[in-house]
Amino acid sequence: MKENPPRRTALVGLVITVIGFGMIFAPGFLGIEGMNGGYAISFVSLFVAIIGIVVVVVYAILGNMLDKILRGEGLLAHWTYTPEKWKEYTDKAHIEEKIEKRGLFFVVSAFALFFGILFWIIDPEAGIYVFLAMLGLIALIGSVALLTTWYDHYQNKKYLGEAYIAKDALYLNHRLHSWRLLGAKLESVTLEIKEGLMLLTFRYSAPTMAGSQNYTARVPVPDGQEETAQNITLQLDPGNS
């Protein structure tokens, strides 16, 4: 049986849930009075437990979805790649991701600095804290962008590529993309050629706490699979319906 990363994440969520529920009652066992921090510990623990439950439910559903994909249920294509083809994709995808995230980082940083400086000018005493908070936000966003870019490239170099394409999801090299859950929506499926490499590009959106978030997944098309890729585009692209 192939590895199922969402199911592993669901297991982590279960552990978090158990620990969270256990910590709710910890102040009573440890003799910590409510007004001396016991209530705060219990409240935070309840919040952690709720997050754990959400993680378990969402990733258990994704795990079941991935199991069906790996069994071939509703599968439109299953592509494997030669080491040379995958290396070409990996190198180009890494450059593309760095460019995209660098652009996003600069845009977010510009807005953060603008509002940070604006608040500092309007209220120098309190505004300095807003400015420092914005600098912290910029550092956090930059760190996350660097980490995710490195991790995606590491995963692509570690494993020889494999793609499973279904009607409601894509499983590309140990990463599951789904546009069926929690209000997610497939925006477009297109064929693109970048630097001589044909890519089947999926763009979808999904709701988050900060609003709708857009995602892009690019699947390299193996030699000889161009017609299959074209058929997938015709079947899945919402613009063709």
**Does one domain contain both 121 and 236?**
yes
CB of 187 within 8 A of CB of 214?
yes
- Residue 186 and residue 136 share a domain: yes
Q: What is the pLDDT of residue 229?
A: 93
Please check whether residues 122 and 233 belong to one and the same domain. yes
Looking at per-residue pLDDT, the higher value among 77 and 206 belongs to: 77
Residue 211 has pLDDT above 70, yes or no: no
Range of the domain at 172: 75-240
pLDDT at 201: 92
Terminal C-alpha separation, the chain: 36
Cα separation, 5 vs 14, in Å, equals 14
Mean pLDDT of 170-187: 86
Identify the domain boundary among 45, 70, 95.
70
Are both 19 and 110 inside the same structural domain?
no
Same-domain status, 111 and 225 = yes
Q: Which residue from 48, 1, 6 is spatially nearest to 23, judged by alpha carbons?
A: 48
Domain limit, last residue, from 70, 89, 117: 70
Pairing verdict, β 169-172 and 162-166? antiparallel
One domain for residues 111 and 211? yes
DSSP class per residue in the chain: ----HHHHHHHHHHHHHHHHHHHHSHHHHHT--GGGTHHHHHHHHHHHHHHHHHHHHHHHHHHHHHHHHHTTTTEEEEEE--HHHHHHHHHHHHHHHHHHHHHHHHHHHHHHHHHHHHHHHH-HHHHHHHHHHHHHHHHHHHHHHHHHHHHHHHHHHHS--EEEEESSEEEETTEEEESSSTT-EEEEEEEEEETTEEEEEEEEEEEETTEEEEEEEEEEPPTT-HHHHHHHHHHH-GGG-
pTM: 0.70
Residue-wise pLDDT tens digits, 63-97: 888 889 988 888 999 999 988 888 888 888 788 77
Average pLDDT, integer, range 53-63: 87
What's residue 36's pLDDT? 62
Mean pLDDT (the chain, rounded): 83
Model pLDDT, residue 34 = 62
Mean pLDDT, to the nearest integer, of 163-182? Answer: 88
**pLDDT value of residue 78:** 94
Same structural domain, 14 and 100: no
Whether residues 41 and 150 share a domain: the answer is: no
Is 121 in the same domain as 82? yes
pLDDT at 236: 92
Do 123 and 174 have their domain in common?
Answer: yes
Note whether 63 and 156 are same-domain residues: no
pLDDT of residue 106: 85
Total tally of structural domains belonging to the chain: 2
With 80 as the cut, is the pLDDT of residue 148 above it?
no
Residue 129's pLDDT is 77
Domain boundary among 22, 51, 70: 70
Indicate if 213 and 103 belong to the same structural domain.
Answer: yes
Q: Is the pLDDT of residue 5 over 80?
A: no
